[in-house]
């Protein structure tokens, strides 16, 4: 009896101790939130209460908590949050929904809407572990492509999803799409802009809508899914790209939408193409050609295109086919290349168009834009020489991970490189029994070269260990200022909860140092109260200068966290 009670109690404790990840759901509109009306489906407000609160898989019925979030313009909102039941990864996901006003059918979204989403993510980057963007399916692949370029040095998951039928309908795909993306966002550190649909997670700039009515509405024709949700969720860590510059997350919002897209068809006349190329202020054109990059053999057509290239219009050749790449395989394609048209390899039209809009906004020279258009910047195209890495025959993960652990401890950069060789960067996101990644280990030791090296290989600064701490907290707690500096430069930040914890530890330390002073015959202070470390204040989001000074003297909790006013 007693043993059973102890077992039950410790099980309850185990369940209660589960970590929570925080996800911000940004609702832009689309079918997922629509309701029937006499005029047909229209977007409707109140998604959290109408669609999520009533479903047990989205609501464990614990009392809703209020979370603070910021709009794209920085205005602070208090939002009701709900929590999922315990997941099979022993976590719960807490989320809230920020609704845009007005909610849009996605056929009306444009660059202004992309900026609004980008700044909403930026302004909430520190408070949430991941972001879900709910969006209509019609232009979903355009928005996910655009965001993949605009979100620079993204270190956290941003997943876009929507549905073909509203969540309020009995038979719908919205529930699965939303739950699947929420589970991936809450558990997997995939620091890319992704599109989730019908159990598959695609790189956002590789996806395209292929079906107007089926639930399997999207495909990623030239790049396998980054993750697949089934009984188990499997991620292709070998394909996932990560920022590898030691720089913070930022938004590149300058977009120049003076672009057009033209589909070549049999019998197209040169004057039609000329008409488009003479549009006022046109700066770029995505040319959807036949097969491997062909168009009708007509000298006038080539000369119209060549003349536009000489005027500085950037013309990008992509294929009308769903799969495959353009290349100078046939004479007309070669002629296009000679005329100055850029080969877009296997870019989707959505990715080509949005990449062009983004590059044109960056104040680059024509040569730079042409070069960048035909090279992969965010994994959006397959450069011809690139071979995709497959890893079925690897040595066991744990063996590599423990070799890496020893190399980090010993500061042996050569061994680290050997273990990470052959593109095994996926190892960087693996965790040990305490949920620590190699970066957590590196943060806890004094050789900052090791930390720098792992960061430059793409290690994420945002993964939390079992105690819910990122490498930055661990470095601060261990007392390594150089590690703290590097991690902050790479975009690491403290969560408001960690600041709260730091404040509580401070109180505890003050109490115990006061009592030890009164007990001490020489009136000393606690042993390592002076070994504090400066961590700039994280409490304020973008655009908030200043902050509080919370000095926490370590007292049995490492050397302590000291947060100090700084503009982050
Ligand atoms: N027209 C809708 C939209 O794109 C289609 C959908 O979401 N399934 O907003």
Percent of the chain whose predicted confidence (pLDDT) is above 90: 64
Across the range 389-411, mean pLDDT stands at 66
Query: What ipTM is given for this predicted complex?
Result: 0.98
Q: Give 262 Cα–ligand 1 centroid separation in angstroms.
A: 23
Pocket lining for ligand 1, CB < 6 angstroms: 30-31, 105-107, 136-138, 162, 164
The answer to pTM > 0.95 is no
Cβ contacts of 231 within 8 Å, gap of 6 or more: none
| Position 514 pLDDT exceeds 80 | no
pLDDT per residue over 246-272, tens digit each? 999 999 999 999 999 999 999 999 999
Q: Inform me whether the pLDDT recorded for 292 exceeds 50.
A: yes
pLDDT of 536 higher than 50: no
Q: Which of 452, 531, 461 is nearest to 491 (CA)?
A: 461
Tokens of 358: 């983004």
Q: At residue 7, does pLDDT exceed 70?
A: no
Burial zone of 444 (CB within 10 Å; 0-12 exposed, 13-18 middle, 19+ buried): buried
Residue 162 has pLDDT above 70, yes or no: yes
pLDDT at 186 > cutoff 50: yes
What's the CA-to-centroid distance between 164 and ligand 1, angstroms? 7
CA of 163 to the centre of ligand 1 (A): 7
Report the distance separating Cα 83 and Cα 91, nearest Å: 10
Which class for 230: exposed (0-12), middle (13-18), buried (19 or more C-beta within 10 A)?
Answer: exposed
Q: How confident is the model at residue 526 (pLDDT cuts 50, 70, 90)?
A: very low
**Which atom of ligand 1 sits closest to the CA of residue 105?**
9
| Structure confidence by residue, pLDDT tens digits, 95-150 | 999 999 999 999 999 999 999 999 999 999 999 999 999 999 999 999 999 999 99
Cis peptide before 176 (omega within 30 of 0): no
Q: CB-based contacts of 305: which residues, under 8 Å, 6+ apart?
A: 273, 277, 287, 315, 336, 339, 340, 341
Residue positions counted in the chain: 568
For 304-329, the pLDDT digits (tens) are 999 999 999 999 999 999 999 998 77
Sole residue written with tokens 């049999």: 266
Q: Which residue has the tokens 């489906």?
A: 41
Candidate of 41, 108, 113, 136 to mutate for ligand 1, largest count of ligand atoms within 8 Å of Cβ: 136
- Report the pLDDT value the prediction gives residue 421, as an integer from 0 to 100: 76
CB count within 10 Å of CB 356 equals 31
pLDDT at residue 515 tops 70: no
CA of 214 to the centre of ligand 1 (A): 13
Please confirm, yes or no, whether 161 is among the known catalytic residues: no
Quick one: which of 546, 504, 508, 498 has its CA closest to 529? 508
Q: Which of 20, 22, 18 is nearest to 129 (CA)?
A: 22
The ligand 1 atom at the shortest distance from the C-alpha of residue 140 is 4
In three-state secondary structure terms, 215 is coil
Burial class (CB in 10 A: 0-12, 13-18, 19+), 107: exposed
Least confident of 87-91, 116-120, 306-310, 515-519: 515-519
**Tokens found for residue 381:** 């195209």
Using most ligand atoms within 8 A of CB, pick from 33, 102, 106, 161 the residue to mutate for ligand 1. 106
Q: Which of 187, 151, 190 is nearest to 464 (CA)?
A: 187
Give the pLDDT score at 96: 98
Burial letters for 521-556: b for 16+ Cβ neighbours within 10 Å, e otherwise?
eeeeebebbeebbebbbbbbbbeeeebeebbbbbbe
**pLDDT greater than 90 at residue 553:** no
Give me the residue label for tokens 């491997």.
292
Q: How far is the CA of 42 from the centre of ligand 1 (A)?
A: 10
Nearest to 476 by CA among 460, 495, 454: 495
Query: Of residues 228 and 495, which shows the higher confidence score?
Result: 228
What is the SS3 string spanning 71-111?
CCCCCEEEEEEEECCCCCCCEEEEEEEEEEEEEECHHHCCH
Catalytic residue (choose from 31, 137, 348, 470):
31
Instruction: Locate the ligand 1 atom nearest the alpha carbon of residue 163 and give its number.
Output: 8
Higher pLDDT, 114 or 476: 114
Which numbered atom of ligand 1 lies nearest the CA of 104?
9
pLDDT in tens, 362-377: 999 998 999 999 999 9
């Amino acid at each position: 009896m007693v043993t059973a009670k102890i077992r039950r109690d410790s099980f309850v404790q185990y369940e209660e101790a589960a970590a929570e990840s925080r996800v911000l759901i940004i609702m832009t509109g689309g079918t997922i939130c629509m309701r029937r009306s006499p005029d047909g489906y229209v977007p409707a407000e109140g998604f959290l209460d109408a669609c999520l609160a009533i479903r047990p898989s989205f609501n464990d019925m614990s009392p809703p908590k209020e979370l603070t979030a910021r709009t794209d313009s920085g205005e602070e909102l208090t939002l009701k949050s709900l929590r999922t039941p315990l997941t099979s990864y022993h976590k719960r996901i807490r989320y809230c929904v920020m609704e845009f006003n007005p909610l849009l059918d996605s056929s009306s979204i444009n660059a202004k809407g992309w900026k609004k989403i980008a700044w909403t993510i930026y302004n909430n980057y520190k408070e949430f572990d991941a972001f879900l963007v709910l969006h209509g399916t019609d232009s979903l692949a355009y928005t996910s492509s655009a965001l993949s370029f605009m979100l620079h040095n993204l270190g956290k998951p941003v997943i876009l999803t929507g549905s073909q039928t509203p969540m309020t309908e009995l038979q719908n795909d919205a529930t699965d799409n939303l739950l699947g993306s929420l589970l991936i966002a809450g558990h997997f550190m995939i620091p890319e802009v992704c599109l989730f649909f019908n159990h598959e997670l695609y790189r956002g700039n590789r996806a395209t809508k292929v079906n107007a009515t089926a639930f399997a509405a999207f495909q990623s024709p030239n790049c396998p899914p980054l993750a697949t949700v089934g009984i188990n969720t499997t991620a292709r860590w070998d394909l996932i790209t990560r920022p590898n510059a030691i720089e913070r997350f930022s938004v590149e919002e300058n977009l120049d939408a003076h672009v057009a897209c033209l589909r070549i068809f049999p019998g197209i006349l040169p004057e039609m193409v000329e008409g488009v190329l003479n549009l006022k202020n046109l700066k770029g054109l995505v040319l959807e050609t036949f097969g491997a990059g062909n168009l009708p053999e007509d000298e006038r057509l080539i000369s119209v295109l060549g003349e536009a290239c000489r005027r500085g219009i950037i013309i990008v050749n992509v294929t009308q086919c769903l799969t495959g790449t353009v290349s100078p395989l046939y004479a007309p394609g070669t002629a296009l290349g000679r005329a100055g048209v850029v080969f877009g390899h296997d870019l989707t039209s959505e990715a080509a168009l949005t990449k062009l809009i983004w590059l044109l906004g960056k104040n680059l020279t024509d040569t730079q834009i042409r070069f960048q258009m035909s090279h992969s910047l965010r994994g959006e195209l397959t450069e011809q020489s690139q071979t995709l890495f497959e890893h079925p025959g690897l040595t066991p993960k744990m063996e590599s991970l423990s070799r890496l652990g020893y190399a980090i401890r010993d500061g042996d950069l050569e061994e680290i490189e050997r273990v990470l060789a052959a593109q095994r960067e996926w190892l960087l996101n693996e965790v040990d029994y305490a949920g620590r990644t190699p970066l957590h280990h590196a943060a806890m030791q004094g050789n900052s070269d090791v930390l720098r090296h792992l960061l430059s290989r793409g290690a994420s600064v945002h993964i939390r260990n079992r105690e819910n701490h990122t490498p930055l907290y661990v470095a601060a707690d261990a007392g390594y200022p150089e590690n703290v500096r590097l991690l902050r430069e790479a975009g690491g930040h403290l969560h408001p909860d960690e600041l709260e914890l730091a404040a509580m530890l401070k109180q505890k330390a003050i109490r115990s140092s006061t009592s030890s002073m009164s007990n001490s015959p020489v009136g000393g202070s606690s042993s390592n109260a002076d070994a504090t470390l400066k961590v700039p204040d994280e409490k304020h989001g973008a655009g908030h200068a200043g902050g509080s000074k919370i000095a926490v003297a370590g007292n049995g909790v490492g050397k302590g966290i000291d947060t100090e006013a700084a503009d982050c």
